[in-house]
Amino acid sequence: MCNWSSPQSTARPTHEAPEVLEHFLQPGEVVFGGRQLRLRTLLGSCVALVLWHPQRLLGGMCHYMLPGRHTSRPGRPDGRYATEALALLLTFIRQSGTRPEQFTVSVFGGGDMFPSVRRQGGVGIGELNVHAARRFIQANGLRCEVYHVGGQGYRSLVFDVASGRLQLNHTDSTPVQVGPLRSRTR
């Protein structure tokens, strides 16, 4: 298992199957590994991008908080920022001897947790995070299979690398985008 941004891994064997390692991703973490992993996270305005290789049973998830840094800092990448978290996922993919286009891509989160707080132009941080995922997917020639973004409330996400199964619970019934991730024309 490749784990980034977490000084101590919280991966632990489960009681239901000793070969399954559960890992709860905190904001800023990037995790990639094999079939033994089951990844969980909780999302508000943050976004989780999930990659899965159905033949090799490899997969990963990042949980980023912001689209990018306002200033560049040399040194260790920071998974709290989309640009750096997504670059780390690509690094893990290449280290595994696979190519990004062999993976299915899913995107979750980007909720409007603070409807009264808007950036210039009326765009909230959740929407900016979703735009960062779209840019990454398009720039790398990937195709998003599943997404559940926007709306209000939080999401609980579980990803089982062995099966590719995604389990999502969303607390709010406000409209969300569900389907292929495409750029919207404004």
Any idea which residue has 């750029």 for tokens? 183
Sketch the domain layout of the chain as residue ranges.
2-6+19-178
* Whether the predicted pLDDT of 2 surpasses 80: no
What is the predicted pLDDT for the residue at 180? 57
**Using alpha carbons only, what angle is made at residue 9 by residues 110 and 135, rounded to the nearest 5 degrees?**
30
Query: Structure pTM?
Result: 0.83
Residue type, 164: G
Q: Which residue has the higher pLDDT, 19 or 93?
A: 93
* Contact call for residues 40 and 21 (beta carbons, < 8 A): no
Give tens-digit pLDDT for 131-152: 999 999 999 999 999 999 999 8
First-last CA distance in the chain = 41
Q: Tell me the residue type at 97.
A: G
**CATH number given to 2-6+19-178:** 3.30.1330.200
